[in-house]
């Protein structure tokens, strides 16, 4: 004979209808189902802090100061804004050794004229000696001496539309003033074995000074 069940305890039937599996119900320490709290937890505090315009300005200043110091060092001590000076002597000597055409070089130019390029090379139809200068006013001028025939050289260097504007006497030689590309102008010396072209965006007096210095 089975012992009688206490009248005040009724077994809990946790079997859901329609044969579904029983749902897990959290229990408290006494074994009774724990009460659920429908209130959602408060949102977590965001870790992102607001930055004021003053803080942003200070951060930007911290980045700009080292850059400014580096730029000042580059310009003041390394000569960052100065044109690179080259020695034209090796190119001139190479052209003279080739003995393809008579070679002239500027003499008596002031120290404010800067040689920035110098190159001798053989090309189709002859050879070229190119010397590049920065004038006292900071403008670029190229001195070209070439054995390439003038009817091929002038269109290639000055454009096919370039036309003579009249002769001018400089240091005992008769030069022709030519138009060139853009705002450039040129002085051209035609000789039997070479053609000399001085071309650039320099002023007319600087072109004439360079032409007169050739020896």
Segment 82-91, tens digit of pLDDT? 678 999 999 9
Q: What does the alpha-carbon distance between residue 55 and residue 75 come to, in Å, rounded to a whole number?
A: 31
Please tell me which residue, 183 or 6, carries the higher pLDDT value: 183
Spell 100-139 as b/e; 16+ CB within 10 A means b. bbebbbbeebeeebbbbebebeeeeebbbbbbbbbbeeee
Give me the mean pLDDT over the 102-129 stretch. 97
Report CA-CA distances (Å) from 25 to 35, 39, 122: 9, 18, 97
User: pLDDT grade, residue 72 (50/70/90)?
Assistant: low
Phi-psi domain of 29 (left: phi exceeds 0; alpha: psi -120 through 50; beta: other): alpha
Give me 132's structure tokens.
């590049």
Q: What does the alpha-carbon distance between residue 89 and residue 93 come to, in Å, rounded to a whole number?
A: 6
Lowest-pLDDT choice from 66-75, 92-101, 112-121, 180-189: 66-75
Helix, strand, coil fractions of the chain, as percent rounded to 5:
25, 25, 50
- Say if residue 68's pLDDT is above 80: no
What percent of the chain has a predicted confidence (pLDDT) above 90?
59
Collapse the DSSP code of 69 into the 3-class scheme (helix H, G, I; strand E, B; otherwise coil) and give the result.
helix
Mean pLDDT of the chain: 82
For 204, half-sphere exposure in the C-beta direction (CA atoms, 13 angstrom radius) is: 7
pLDDT tens-digit readout, 187-208: 999 999 999 999 999 999 999 9
- Residue 212 CB neighbours (<10 A): 17
Q: What does the alpha-carbon distance between residue 187 and residue 168 come to, in Å, rounded to a whole number?
A: 9
Give me the mean pLDDT over the 50-78 stretch. 69
Give me the mean pLDDT over the 169-174 stretch. 96
Q: What angle do CA 204, 207, 213 make, to 5 degrees?
A: 140
pLDDT tens-digit readout, 14-49: 555 555 555 555 555 555 555 555 566 665 555 555
Residues 6+ apart with CB under 8 A from 212: 170, 171
- Say if residue 175's pLDDT is above 90: yes
**Global pTM value:** 0.64
Report CA-CA distances (Å) from 83 to 87, 109, 115: 13, 17, 9
User: pLDDT grade, residue 122 (50/70/90)?
Assistant: very high
The answer to whether the beta carbons of residues 116 and 86 sit under 8 Å apart is: yes
Give me the mean pLDDT over the 166-170 stretch. 96
């Amino acid at each position: 004979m089975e012992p009688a069940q206490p009248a005040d305890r009724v077994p809990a039937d946790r079997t859901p209808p329609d044969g579904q599996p029983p749902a897990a119900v959290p229990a408290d320490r006494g074994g009774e189902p724990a009460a659920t709290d429908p209130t959602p937890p408060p949102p977590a505090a965001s870790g992102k802090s607001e930055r004021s315009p003053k803080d942003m300005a200070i951060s930007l200043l911290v980045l700009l100061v080292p850059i400014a110091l580096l730029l000042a060092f580059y310009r003041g001590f390394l000569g960052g804004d100065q044109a690179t000076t080259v020695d034209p002597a090796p190119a001139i000597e190479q052209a003279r050794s080739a003995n393809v055409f008579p070679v002239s070089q500027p003499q008596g130019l002031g120290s404010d004229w800067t040689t920035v390029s110098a190159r001798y090379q053989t090309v189709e139809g002859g050879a070229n000696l190119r010397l590049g200068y920065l004038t006292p006013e900071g403008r670029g001028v190229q001195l070209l001496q070439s054995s390439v025939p003038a009817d091929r050289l002038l269109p290639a260097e000055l454009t096919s539309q370039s036309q003579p504007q009249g002769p001018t006497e400089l240091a005992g030689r008769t030069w022709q003033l030519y138009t060139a590309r853009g705002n450039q102008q040129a002085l051209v010396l035609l000789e039997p074995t070479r053609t000399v072209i001085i071309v650039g965006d320099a002023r007319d007096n600087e072109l004439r000074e360079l032409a007169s210095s050739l020896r």
